[in-house]
Amino acid sequence: MKKSSSINVRTIAFIGMLGALSTVLMMFNFPLPFAPSFLKMDIAELPGLFAGFFLGPVAGALVVVVKILLKLAIQGTDTAFVGEFSNLTGSIVFICSAALIYKKIHTKKGALISMIVSSLLVSVLLIFINAYVMFPLYVRLYGMPMEAIIGMGSAVNPLVKDEVTMMLFGVFPFNLVKHGVTSFFTYLVYKKCANALRSILRVSQEAPTAA
């Protein structure tokens, strides 16, 4: 029981550490040249993807929750929580779907397949989430007409002319690039870091237990 408790404490601390790292990475963001400026590129999902691959989808999702809570505690919200909710939803779908596939195909090739599939899945899903939930919420909460939002897209991307083209040529490629880049960096460093992560979480059977 004591050994199990020690493992749980280390796991919780590990998730918290990755969540904090994810929050820091989230602060280093920038717009992409073909997408409206309110869509920010970052690689903050990388620590959550690590946790999902190493400890499973629940751990990956918890890293995302920690990331959002810390972000709100440090910076607050300037989107009436709409942006945070969108980030939370997309990150959980991306990380959990990749972690579930990797759990079934636990190889280097499986990791690559899982990230390709999850990047495509979340990019398509976010088209519908933005079209039917997030953008209408922005319109309602800020009193900003949809035409103004579309105008922000067409100002940087001439292919954006209406709501449909905003989703197809703005939102979709933005998320594909964002999650594709995150997947690329994760693929490069995960295997190299796996042994170090394993040693952090491993509890030695020879270690004395507390009285």
| Mean of pLDDT over the chain | 87
Q: What is the pLDDT of residue 99?
A: 95
Provide the token pair at 59: 């751990």
Residue 40 has pLDDT above 70, yes or no: yes
Architecture of the CATH domain 2-201: Orthogonal Bundle (1.10)
Number of neighbours of residue 160 by Cβ within 10 angstroms: 24
Q: What is the pLDDT of residue 144?
A: 81
92 — pLDDT class (breaks 50, 70, 90):
very high
- The C-alpha atoms of residue 49 and residue 61 are separated, in whole angstroms, by 9
Residue 141 has pLDDT above 60, yes or no: yes
- The C-alpha atoms of residue 197 and residue 50 are separated, in whole angstroms, by 9
Q: 38 near 29, Cβ under 8 Å?
A: no
Which span out of 9-18, 144-153, 179-188, 194-203 was modeled with the highest average pLDDT?
179-188
Provide the token pair at 2: 């004591």
Number of neighbours of residue 64 by Cβ within 10 angstroms: 29
Q: What is the pLDDT of residue 2?
A: 47
* pLDDT > 90: percent of the chain: 63
Provide the token pair at 52: 């999902």
Mean pLDDT of 23-37: 92
Q: What is the pLDDT of residue 198?
A: 67
* pTM of the full structure: 0.86
Domain boundaries, the chain: 2-201
Higher pLDDT, 148 or 10: 148
Q: What is the pLDDT of residue 16?
A: 93
Residue 209 has pLDDT above 50, yes or no: no
Distances (CA, A) of 67 to 39, 62, 92, 158, 162: 18, 8, 11, 34, 33
CA dihedral of 68, 69, 70, 72, whole degrees rounded to 10: 80
Q: What is the pLDDT of residue 82?
A: 86
Q: 26 near 70, Cβ under 8 Å?
A: no
Higher pLDDT, 141 or 86: 86
Mean pLDDT of 24-28: 93
- The C-alpha atoms of residue 201 and residue 6 are separated, in whole angstroms, by 9
Sign of the C-alpha dihedral computed for residues 162, 164, 166 and 168 taken in this order = negative
For residue range 93-139, list pLDDT tens digits in order. 999 999 999 999 988 899 999 999 999 999 999 999 999 998 998 88
207 — pLDDT class (breaks 50, 70, 90):
very low
Residue 6 has pLDDT above 50, yes or no: no
